[in-house]
Chains A and B, each alone.
Chain A
Amino acid sequence: MAIAAEKVQPGQPGIWRQLRGDRTTTLALGLLLLIVLAVLLGPFIYPGSPSDIDFSRALAPPSRELPLGANDLGQNQLARLLVGGRISLAVGVAAMLIAMTIGVLIGALAGFYGRWIDGSLMRFTDLFLALPQLPLVLLVIYLFGDPVRKALGQERGIFVLIVLVIGGLNWMSVARLVRAGFLSLKQRNFVQAAIALGANPWRVVKSHLLPNVIGPVIVAATLAVGNALLAESTLSFLGLGFSPDVPTWGRMLYDAQNYIESAPHLVMAPGLAIFLTVLSINTLGDRLRDVLDPASR
Chain B
Amino acid sequence: MFGYLLKRVLIAIPTLLAISAVIFFILALAPGNPLGDLAANPAITPEVRENIRRSLGLDQPIHIRYVKWSLALMRGNLGYSFTSRLPVSELIAQRLPTTLWIIGIAYLLSVALAFPLGIVAALKRDTWVDRGITTLAFMGFSTPTFFSGLLLIIVFSVRLGWLPFIYDSTLQVADLGSFWQLVKQSVMPITVLVLFQTAVLLRFIRAAMLEEIPQGYVKTARAKGLSRWRIVNLHMLRNALIPVVTLVALDIPTIFTGSLVTEQVFRVPGIGALLIDSIYRGDTPVVMAIALIYAVLVVVFNLMADVLYGLIDPRVRYG
Contacts and interface: CB of A to CB of B under 8 A. Distances in A.
Interface bracket on B: 35 or more
B80 interface: no
Interface of A is mostly: helix
A135 B144 contact: no
A279 B139 contact: yes
Interface string B1-43: 0000000000000010011001100110011100000000000
Interface in B268-319: 275-276, 279-280, 282, 287-288, 290-291, 294-295, 297-299, 302
A264 B158 contact: yes
Interface stretch (B55-63, B82-90, B222-230, B252-260): B252-260
Interface in A241-297: 250, 253, 256-257, 260-261, 264, 267, 271-272, 274-275, 278-279, 282-283, 286, 297
Contacts of A240: 276, 279
A262 B15 CA distance: 49
B253 A146 contact: no
B253 A237 contact: no
A130 B302 contact: yes
Contact of A253 (B141, B150, B210): B150
B192 interface: no
A146 B295 contact: no
B291 A282 contact: no
A51 interface: no
Among A230, A271, A274, the one with the most B-chain Cβ atoms within 10 Å of its Cβ is A271
Interface stretch (A53-61, A67-75, A136-144): A136-144
A132 interface: yes
Contact of A135 (B30, B31, B275): B275
A133 interface: yes
Nearest to B150: A267
B32 A146 contact: yes
A143 B32 CA distance: 7
Contact of A260 (B32, B147, B154, B253): B154
Given A132-B291, A267-B154, 14 more contacts: A130-B302, A131-B22, A131-B298, A134-B256, A134-B257, A136-B291, A138-B275, A138-B276, A233-B146, A260-B153, A264-B158, A267-B150, A271-B150, A275-B144
9 contacts: A132-B257, A132-B291, A139-B287, A226-B142, A237-B264, A257-B265, A264-B154, A282-B138, A283-B138
Interface of B: 15, 18-19, 22-23, 26-27, 30-32, 138-139, 141-144, 146-147, 150-151, 153-154, 158, 165, 210, 250, 253, 256-257, 260-261, 264-265, 275-276, 279-280, 282, 287-288, 290-291, 294-295, 297-299, 302
